[in-house]
Amino acid sequence: MAQRYGKRAPAGAGWDLLAESLQDALTEPQQKPVPSPQSQSRLPVVSVILAIILVVTFPITMVVVNSWLGQFALIMWIAFILGVVALATVQLVIRRREDRPRSSSTGEDRDTAQAKTQSKVRKLIDDAKRGDFSGFSSIPEARPIAAECYAKQQVGLAMDADLPNAIQTAHDVAVCVSESGAEIVRASKEQAVETLTSTLTSTVSTRFADALASRLRARNSDTIDHMVATSAGVIVAATHHWPGTLSLDDEGRFSAGPNHPANEYRQASVSALAAMADEVCNGEVALILLIIADGFVLGSGVETEVNGHRIIAIEREHAVDFIAHVHAQGTLAQVPDLRLIDERSPQLTM
């Protein structure tokens, strides 16, 4: 059993990102409150006509005629004014009584809906951690993200359980890439967003893609899925859910076939991983390992070089055995200590 360094579980950041994006997608957007129809009592037409008559007759009867009709008009005018004031007061009291329970029930409904959404998201994540993705039928764009998180989790657990005791592992290592590498990582995120949103159809899926894109862009760091210290040096590894058959094109770039829509994203991911590897002890990395889940790699594996880093892609089933073989062939007298590497790599958080 390998020695795990750090407190981060495999794929922890991925699960958190997925849960937050699902929460945003499944939460119904708040709409502006529409005032409900209220019982607004309007003065009847007869009252309006009476008011007009009183306005016209009052000064005439009081000034010109000064008779009992004027006194009656004065009484009617005062009664009319008092009636309007009373009606307005009654309306104000009724509206306040109607608004109080309505606003209270609206807040309660919103809290209930949010609690239901949180419960649904927890269930989706818990099921996905067990490899059950049946709940993602209404959010198909989220399923590959969940499948990749599950693959990262399982690969990390297999490394910890099956690699020799002399090997050290760390998972979900946060990396704040500096200078030019930051642009490479940002471009990788943009390619991921573009690939995700290229075939959106449903409303919920659109909201999920938007939420994921927003949270990806807001993050000021990225993660290395696995770091493995062996007698051959440090291996930086990433697990990807990449369907299809991975190979190299004529330019030595990773490809899933001619004109495959995800080719740019895959190459961008590899470049970003190489930029992150530069932050590990000033780039003192033995090799970068791409572990392909739910897909195939041409032959027994493909190898290329990016920014001076040796990169090898293999299928998930062979990952642990390959690392054990690299360790057995290593020539270092002592396996690098991840604690010291952590201290010497200020851009890393293990």
Q: How far apart are CA 301 and CA 289, in angstroms?
A: 10
Domain, as residue range, for 320 = 138-349
106 domain-assigned: no
Identify which has the larger pLDDT, 97 or 336: 336
Instruction: State the total domains in the chain.
Output: 1
207 domain-assigned: yes
38 domain-assigned: no
Those residues with Cβ within 8 angstroms of residue 236's Cβ, 6 or more apart along the chain or in another chain: 224, 226, 227, 273, 276, 277, 280, 285, 287, 288, 289
Identify which has the larger pLDDT, 204 or 92: 92
Q: How far apart are CA 233 and CA 308, in angstroms?
A: 16
pLDDT range class, residue 164, cuts 50, 70, 90: very high
Query: Read out DSSP for 282-305?
Result: GG--SEEEEEEESSEESTT-EEEE
66 domain-assigned: no
Identify which has the larger pLDDT, 303 or 81: 303
Q: What is the mean pLDDT of residues 28-48?
A: 52
204 domain-assigned: yes
314 domain-assigned: yes
Contact 342, 5 (CB under 8 A): yes
Structure tokens at 181: 């590498």
Helix (H) or strand (E) holding 88: helix 68-129
Give the pTM: 0.77
Identify which has the larger pLDDT, 320 or 139: 320
326 domain-assigned: yes
Q: How far apart are CA 286 and CA 14, in angstroms?
A: 25
Q: What is the mean pLDDT of residues 197-203?
A: 57
| Residue 227: predicted pLDDT | 98
334 domain-assigned: yes
Tens digits of residue pLDDT in 42-76: 445 555 565 666 666 666 655 555 566 666 766 77
Tell me whether strands 287-293 and 233-241 are parallel, antiparallel or unpaired.
parallel
Q: How far apart are CA 123 and CA 143, in angstroms?
A: 14
Name the burial class of residue 11, with classes exposed (0-12), middle (13-18) and buried (19+) by CB atoms within 10 angstroms of its CB.
Answer: buried
| Residue 38: predicted pLDDT | 47
Contact 150, 129 (CB under 8 A): yes
Structure tokens at 137: 């039928």
Q: Is 193 helix (H, G, I), strand (E, B) or coil?
A: helix
